[in-house]
């Protein structure tokens, strides 16, 4: 694979992008806080369960986090479905789908 | 200088053409796609194909941008196979038009049986007329499964050279399998879904620059018609040489699209 190396050093990448990603990390944290503070339905929303599982992958110390998160959020069934009842995707595998992991 | 090989200019203003030209765009290709609502008749598609083959090339030419197109009924409107086949029957009437490069963007949306049937009908049309193919892969949780089903459908059909098929909207979990099977792969630079310029450059670093391109897929949703030049800036800032930047944003799309015998730059 790796035919073009990462050209910038660790320090250069951190210097360039740390603040941007610090802000995104705070966005994620405040989103979790906001959902937790809110009332109404959704305490067991399948998307948020998947989101929490993805957060765990961020800190497991293993490589290819992006690919593993995308795979965690993917339908892993192999057969076409009988009918498309909607045009849209939700960003996580709905619990009714056989592809939920 | 760059080529944006996937952008829906029918949804963009003339100001966007001007801004793209100022940023160095010399040519684009525009696949047929979903308008945000289902068209009520095949005649609606006939008018859309006229817009793609006649109106948009003139609008682009005002800014020195060469416009090309791909025709199909998109997978979001393929759940009614009878309707979809009526639309497919219109496509041969437009194939004599010099700016039509092939069939696209075809593929799957929710990975249903009807969508797959219409994908196969499009693949047959492409094989019959020796046309190139631009493939849309599904969104979000449906992408991995849909990418596999689409590649299997092309392999089972057996008459299309993977080197003349581009599978678009790849991400980290699909790019490897697409390249391994001999297809070209496209990365779409979107603000919320698909790839960001940063991740696209990561993918170049991990998978190399062969048979890969970048596009904005600018349309009526949240999207950025200047995404390709922004990715060029990201590559430059991360130390990539000018020849690699030119390869992914100009030479690769030029090489793939030139196989049509119809692709021209201004
Ligand atoms: Zn598109």
DSSP 8-state assignment for residue B164: G
CB pair distance less than 8 Å for A80 and B115: yes
The DSSP H or E segment spanning A65 is helix A65-72
CB pair distance less than 8 Å for B173 and A67: yes
Domain around A70? 44-76
- Which of A50, A87, A90, A95 has the highest number of chain B CBs within 10 A, making it the mutation to test binding with B? A87
ipTM field: 0.95
Residue-wise pLDDT tens digits, B134-163: 999 999 999 999 999 999 999 999 999 999
* Range A7-11 average pLDDT: 94
Is A59 a domain residue? Answer: yes
Is A62 a domain residue? Answer: yes
Which sign does the torsion angle of CA B138, B150, B229, B26 carry? negative
Tell me the three-class secondary structure of B113-126, residue by residue. Answer: HHHHHHHHHHHHHH
Is A57 a domain residue? Answer: yes
- Which of A80, A86, A100, A101 has the highest number of chain B CBs within 10 A, making it the mutation to test binding with B? A80
Is A27 a domain residue? Answer: no
CB pair distance less than 8 Å for A82 and B138: no
Residue-wise pLDDT tens digits, B7-30: 999 999 999 999 999 999 999 999
Q: How many CB atoms lie within 10 A of CB A58?
A: 12
The span from the first CA to the last CA of chain B, in angstroms, equals 11
The DSSP H or E segment spanning A54 is helix A46-58
Number of domains in chain A: 1
- Stated pTM of the model: 0.96
Is A37 a domain residue? Answer: no
Q: Is A71 on the interface with B (CB under 8 A)?
A: yes
Q: Is the pLDDT of residue A97 over 90?
A: no
pLDDT tier for residue A1 given thresholds of 50, 70 and 90: very low
Pick from B146, B15, B145, B24: nearest CA to B76: B146
Q: Which residues contact A6 (CB under 8 A, 6 or more apart)?
A: A13, B205, B238
Domain spans, chain B: 2-258
Is A52 a domain residue? Answer: yes
Ligand 1 center to B219 CA (angstroms): 7
Residue B188 phi/psi, 5-degree rounding, is -100, 130
In contact, B215 and B189? CB cutoff 8 Å? yes
Share of chain A above pLDDT 90, in %: 86
In contact, B229 and B187? CB cutoff 8 Å? no
The residue with tokens 């219409």 is B118
Q: How far is CA B118 from the centre of its chain?
A: 18
Collect all residues of chain A within an 8 Å Cβ-Cβ radius of residue B119: none
pLDDT tier for residue B194 given thresholds of 50, 70 and 90: confident
Helix, strand, coil shares, percent, chain A, to 5: 50, 0, 50
Is A6 a domain residue? Answer: no
In contact, B195 and B222? CB cutoff 8 Å? no
**C-alpha span between B239 and B237 (Å, rounded):** 5
Angle between helices A65-72 and A46-58 (to 10 degrees): 160
Is A22 a domain residue? Answer: no
pLDDT tier for residue A2 given thresholds of 50, 70 and 90: very low
Q: What is the CATH number of domain B2-258?
A: 3.20.20.140
Distance (Å) from the alpha carbon of A39 to chain B's nearest alpha carbon = 26
Q: Is the pLDDT of residue B122 over 60?
A: yes
């Amino acid at each position: 694979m790796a035919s073009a190396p990462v050209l910038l050093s660790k320090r250069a990448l951190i210097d360039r992008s740390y603040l941007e990603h610090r802000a995104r990390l705070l966005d994620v944290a405040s989103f979790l806080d906001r959902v937790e503070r809110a009332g109404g339905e959704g305490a067991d929303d399948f998307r948020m369960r998947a989101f929490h599982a993805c957060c765990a992958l961020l800190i497991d110390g293993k490589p290819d986090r992006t690919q593993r998160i995308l795979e965690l959020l993917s339908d892993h069934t192999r057969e076409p479905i009988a009918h498309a009842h909607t045009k849209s995707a939700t960003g996580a595998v709905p619990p009714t789908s056989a592809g939920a992991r | 200088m760059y080529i944006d090989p996937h952008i829906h200019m029918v949804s963009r203003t003339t100001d966007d053409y001007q801004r793209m030209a100022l940023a160095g765009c010399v040519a684009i290709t525009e696949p047929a796609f979903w308008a945000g609502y289902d068209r009520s008749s095949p005649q609606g598609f006939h008018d859309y194909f006229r817009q793609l083959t006649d109106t948009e090339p003139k609008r682009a030419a005002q800014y020195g941008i060469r416009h090309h197109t791909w025709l199909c009924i998109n997978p979001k409107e393929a759940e009614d196979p009878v309707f979809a086949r009526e639309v497919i029957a219109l496509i041969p009437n437009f194939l004599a038009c010099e700016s039509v490069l092939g069939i696209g963007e075809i593929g799957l949306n929710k990975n249903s049986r009807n969508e797959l049937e219409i994908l196969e009908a499009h693949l047959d049309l492409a094989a019959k007329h020796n046309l190139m193919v631009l493939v849309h892969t599904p969104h979000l949780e449906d992408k991995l499964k849909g990418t596999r089903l689409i590649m299997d459908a092309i392999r089972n059909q057996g008459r299309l050279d993977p080197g003349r098929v581009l599978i678009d909207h790849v991400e980290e979990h699909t790019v490897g399998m697409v390249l391994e099977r001999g297809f070209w792969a496209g990365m779409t630079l979107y603000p919320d879904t698909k790839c960001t310029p940063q991740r696209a450059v990561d993918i170049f670093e991990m998978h190399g620059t062969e048979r890969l391109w970048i596009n904005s897929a600018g349309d009526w949703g949240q999207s950025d018609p200047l995404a390709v030049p922004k990715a060029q800036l990201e590559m430059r800032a991360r130390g990539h040489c000018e020849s690699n930047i030119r390869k992914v944003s100009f030479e690769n799309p030029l090489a793939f699209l030139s196989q049509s015998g119809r692709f021209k730059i201004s």
